[in-house]
Amino acid sequence: MDPGELKNLVTVAVPAYNMCQFLAEALESLLAQTYPHFEALVIDDGSIDCTPEVAARYLPGGERFDPRVVYIRQANQGKVAALNNAIARARGEFFAILDADDTWPPQSLEARVRALAREPGLVAVYGDANYMDEQGRVYRVRRSRPVKRQEELIGSVLVPIIGTTILARVPAMRDMLPLDTSYTRTDDAFINVELYQRGRLRHVPEIVLNYRNYRRAKNPWLRIVSTYHLCRLIARHYRGPVRWYYQAKQIIICGLKLAYEIIFFYK
């Protein structure tokens, strides 16, 4: 399929909370995409920093104005509420998430749109990611892998889908609304399981995300919160010994990762 023949509109949600130091870089990477057919919904979750001022550069009257960028401000409710807002407002056929502290390589959208458009039976596609530090320097590559069983999405040491590499069909995303806003640290796992239950997913073996991994003082606490919500997600889908097995496994994984993060304070 010739990339020039692709016309599918993609809604890109850019949830942002106090991310003014990174938001411009994220939006510049979006505007540099080789695939031009998208709308970018910047959902400001009640930021109290300069996030609104950064977003204003891309709105009418701003020095980087682009009509594809839409700014929406909401009261602080969390990332999942921001995604609910974006999904409900989406005009596109496909839906993607670009966290405000990450960036995309130039061919990210094109690679995923091409893969999803040529297989109507797919619900979503996903790809690989660069891991970069706070300054944007890539220090390793992480590969996603095909998903064979649902359990892999919530019971693995390294889950097979790097969460925000997903490009999904909008009807599938709308079908799961409203996303449960209580899953404050495992929104990607929640969405991936819901998509897996709705149809086929395919791995696109290309780097489609630059994931920023940086020092934050609250990392150990965030790891504990993430594990709590993963255990809740496991309980949502499993019962009895299977549930207990995967919950125990996640607690052990949490302990190992927590020990690492206490030393290095990485996200």
What tens digit of pLDDT does each residue of 219-236 get? 677 778 888 888 888 898
Asked if residue 228 and residue 126 are part of one domain, the reply reads no
> How many residues are listed for the chain in this entry?
267
State pTM to two decimals: 0.90
Q: Are residues 179 and 96 in the same domain?
A: yes
- Residue 75's pLDDT is 96
Give, in order, the Cα–Cα distances in Å from 58 to each of 35, 67, 116, 182, 258.
Answer: 18, 8, 28, 31, 39
Q: Please identify every stretch of the chain with a pLDDT value under 50, giving residue numbers as ranges.
A: 1, 266-267
- Residue 267's pLDDT is what? 46
| 198 and 233 in a common domain | no
**Domain assignment of residue 165, given as a range:** 3-212
The per-residue pLDDT for 161 is 95
131 shares its domain with 52: yes
For residue 10, give the nearest of 202, 210, 188, 169 by alpha carbon: 169
Same domain membership, residue 223 and residue 102:
no
User: What is the structure's pLDDT at 219?
Assistant: 64
**Shared-domain flag, residues 208 and 233:** no
Distance CA 178, CA 132 (A): 32
**Type of residue found at 57:** R
Give yes or no: residues 92 and 224 share one domain. Answer: no
User: How many domains are there within the chain?
Assistant: 2
In the prediction, which pLDDT does 102 show?
Answer: 97
Residue 218, pLDDT score = 58
